[in-house]
Chains A and B, each alone.
Chain A
């Protein structure tokens, strides 16, 4: 095997999605030109829609059918990829080029065991027949390499029996099984919590050395490349605007866009103007929840089990959780995946039966959920969504109006438009449907829908996790603005400790269904008393430096 300086060389690649109506649309990739050096870890950074994923798919040969490459060349180890047949290119995948994707929860076939998934990789590239025992031995070996201690057992499990981090390890095992020379990682950690992210990145680095692999690491999080990538490229609108060594990009950016990305990633409170309201802790709390315990898995007809679990609180996910949220406060709630954060808010909202009491000093609570894609009804316009929210709050009696008929409708429309404008959207978005908006815009609609009901408290469950750094920063600014101007309290659930540090005066740390630490953010995060806070901070430090 000859070794080249550049394992992949992309020459002036231009790619677009022509349609019959528009044969010459704006290119998605515009004259992209770069090389990936053999053995390096190259980071590819940019906001959503900047063309990062398209670049990786073009290298892998998995572009959507509608995509058309109008000019350029892609070379892999000196061979022209675009001159190959689709069949030849497919045969390279898994063997020469491995890939890992963003969402490990859906990336495995739910009907197939882990072992069968990995076995497929082996059988697809087998030149001479290998006995099932040898294949199994190889699979178990690989599973051990990616960090499973009980590899034999894991290989017989189905994807739904694994955690997110474990699934991502299985996917890495599949991609690295045949020791490909290039591993493309498309946002492999963006849906994982901080602790898991650190371990996955460490694993990738280890594999890179062990198998002498080259890695193309795609991320929207500039801080995630620190300590992981050797070089970083920055993409914007289908162009590569900056490329340099990681330390130069992070510490000494020469390009203004890179600098902007850095500011957004660091959430610099002064530059972004994040000013949360001052909190008066002597006032009575907006929400007071006491001794909440709750669990899942009780079906309507399962009387016997329900009785048993009432006697045996071990089945519960939440154990005796109490919390208070004060007026004007942005309370941070952090903890690893599975620590019970989402179960807690489901209990507070009354979506889950629980023991203990919840007192709310408000007619309504607003909620923003993690996934802005599935939270809005795809069949209806933004206007419809806003009217629904308004109607709901009228029913609850939160907002009263003396007007009737057409006058009231005009009044409502004005109110809705004003609300959308306040949330950074315009009247032109009224008639759009959710799929015509970006992720950040959809979260804004979710906030506007909450805000129009004028709740005293908005619960935000991981609102940033699917957004890129710029959208996150803008959304956070909007939240602090609402907090300051409307005196709305927030319960902010996030795995991004950096955000908590910037905007939350008080923080609660959860672990294993219990609150393990709470107090002023500066005290908890600077002098952690409990082990779980310490672990979260350590993971944060490793990633963000």
Chain B
């Protein structure tokens, strides 16, 4: 029990240190980038005095460390400044857009797991046989299609061939939850496709490896059926290594959703990010970048904890 608590404490310290470093990097990056925010906001015709006044007002003349301190404090309280472009709090802006991006990522992840696990199990049953080969070929093709191409193809299929009307219309979850899920299904599928292939390939080789291990032979000699061996021994053991891969896939999906939002015209974080970039909206931009990094680091943290729960050997280290 003590080793478990110590492991957890160590991991939390690691998480906090990583986040601190991330915040330095993000802040440093936006301090180094050339371009005067005040000048951009006021336009080329404003006088030097006006620009200087605005700088003073926005606190851009304060020393770097003090600006970093107040920015960090803002991050912790989920209020890292006000967007120049929208004149709304960054936290509030992100909270409006988050349901789209998170919802899409969650649905895509569920799709990845629901599809890749059964396929991998079927494929690993008889490696090298016809079923396995068909699965592998489909996997390779899916893997080669980038999400934005898949999006276009899916829009074409859904819109023109099957005349589904949901494409491009976003429904808020508070209004109609099923409508919300429905409008996110297609974009999620576009993101999930290559990840399904990736997860399938990984799981397949992991299951094949576990199936030939010595403890599976022991379980056979104990008289367990193949099904029981698969569920009780093979899958749990391949999950230990899959957890890390799945966390990588999940952070990939998050990145993928930023792009797919553009194609499907969904009001998610990706579009907010893009508009922040084009308008040099630094408070908004640094907030989004930091929180995305935060989510990614958090995912890895969770996957480490999950791996330690799944494998007693990790706790003991």
B215 touches A106 (CB 8 A): yes
Asked if B214 and A101 make an inter-chain contact with CB atoms under 8 angstroms apart, the answer reads yes
Q: Shortest distance in angstroms between B226's beta carbon and chain A's nearest beta carbon?
A: 8
Tell me if B313 and A160 are in contact (CB < 8 A): yes
Q: B286-315, CB under 8 A of A: which get 1 and which 0?
A: 000000000000000000000000111100
Q: Is the CB of B237 within 8 A of A108?
A: no
Given contacts A110-B237, A111-B312, A160-B313, contact A93 B222 (CB under 8 A): yes
Q: Is the CB of A90 within 8 A of B237?
A: no
Residues of chain B lying within 8 A (CB to CB) of residue A411: none
Pairwise interchain contact B220-A90, C-beta atoms closer than 8 A? yes
B10 to chain A: closest residue by CB: A301
Contact B232 A120 (CB under 8 A): yes
What residues of B have a CB within 8 angstroms of the CB of A91 in the complex? 223
Answer whether residue B225 sits at the interface, using C-beta atoms and an 8 A cutoff.
Answer: yes
Q: Assuming the A-B contacts A110-B313, A111-B236, A158-B312, are A94 and B221 also in contact, with contact meaning beta carbons closer than 8 angstroms in the complex?
A: yes
Q: How far is the CB of A110 from chain B (nearest CB, A)?
A: 6
Question: B140 within 8 Å of A by Cβ?
Answer: no
Known contacts A94-B222, A94-B223; A124/B217 CB under 8 A: no
Closest 8 pairs between A and B when the two form their complex, measured CB to CB: A94-B223, A99-B221, A106-B214, A93-B223, A109-B215, A94-B222, A107-B214, A121-B222
The answer to whether A107 and B312 touch across the interface, beta carbons within 8 angstroms, is: no
Is B213 touching A106 in the complex (CB atoms < 8 A)? yes
With contacts A120-B232, A124-B228, A160-B312 known, is A109 near B237, CB below 8 A? yes
In the assembly, what is the distance between CA of A62 and CA of B223, in Å? 11
Chain A residues with CB under 8 A of B121: none
Q: A105 — nearest CB in chain B belongs to which residue?
A: B214
CB atoms of B221 and A60 under 8 A apart: yes
> A489-515 toward B: CB 8 Å interface, digit per residue (1/0)?
000000000000000000000000000
Asked if A386 is an interface residue, CB under 8 A from chain B, the answer is no
- The count of residues in chain A whose C-beta lies closer than 8 Å to any C-beta of chain B is 29
Tell me the B11-56 residues at the A interface (CB within 8 Å).
Answer: none
- Please list the residues of chain B having a beta carbon within 8 angstroms of any beta carbon in chain A: 213-215, 217-225, 228, 232-233, 236-237, 240, 310-313, 316
Residue pairs across A and B with Cβ atoms less than 8 A apart, 28 shown, are A62-B220, A62-B221, A90-B220, A90-B224, A92-B223, A93-B222, A94-B221, A94-B222, A98-B221, A106-B213, A106-B215, A107-B217, A107-B218, A108-B218, A110-B215, A110-B311, A110-B313, A111-B233, A111-B237, A111-B310, A111-B312, A112-B233, A120-B228, A121-B223, A124-B223, A124-B225, A160-B316, A174-B222
The reply on A95 being an interface residue by CB < 8 A is yes
Taking the nearest CB of chain B, how far is it from the CB of A149, in angstroms? 23
**B36 → A minimal CB distance (Å):** 43
Residues of chain B lying within 8 A (CB to CB) of residue A103:
214
User: Does A541 count as interface, using CB distance less than 8 angstroms?
Assistant: no
Considering the complex, which residues of chain A in the window 96-140 have a beta carbon less than 8 Å from any beta carbon of chain B?
98-99, 101, 103, 106-112, 120-121, 124-125
Q: How far is the CB of B12 from chain A (nearest CB, A)?
A: 16
Cα A158 to Cα B311 in complex, Å, equals: 10
- How far is it, in angstroms, between the C-alpha of A101 and the C-alpha of B221 when the chains are bound? 10
In the bound complex, residues from chain A placing their C-beta under 8 Å from that of B223 are: 90-95, 121, 124-125
Tell me if A146 is interfacial: C-beta within 8 Å of chain B.
no
How long is the Cα–Cα vector from A519 to B168 in the complex, in angstroms?
Answer: 86
| Minimum CB distance partner of B313 in chain A | A160
Say if the beta carbon of A171 comes within 8 Å of chain B.
yes
Q: Which residue of A lies closest to B240 (CB)?
A: A111
Given contacts A160-B312, A160-B313, A160-B316, contact A109 B222 (CB under 8 A): no
Residues of A within 8 A of B240 (CB): 111
Contact A93–B311 (Cβ < 8 Å): no
A175 at interface (Cβ–Cβ under 8 A)?
yes
* CB neighbours of B310 from chain A (8 A): 111
In angstroms, how far is the closest chain A Cβ from the Cβ of B124?
14
- Closest chain-B Cβ to A75's Cβ sits at a distance in Å of 20
**In whole angstroms, what is the CA distance A103 to B214 when docked?**
8
Inter-subunit contact A93/B215 (CB<8 Å): no
Complex Cα gap A103–B215 (Å): 10
Docked complex Cα distance between A500 and B144 (Å): 60
Given contacts A103-B214, A112-B232, 10 further A-B contacts (CB under 8 A): A60-B221, A62-B220, A90-B224, A107-B217, A108-B215, A109-B219, A111-B311, A160-B316, A171-B218, A174-B222
Take A106-B213, A120-B232 as given contacts and tell me if A101 and B218 are in contact as well, using a CB distance cutoff of 8 Å. yes
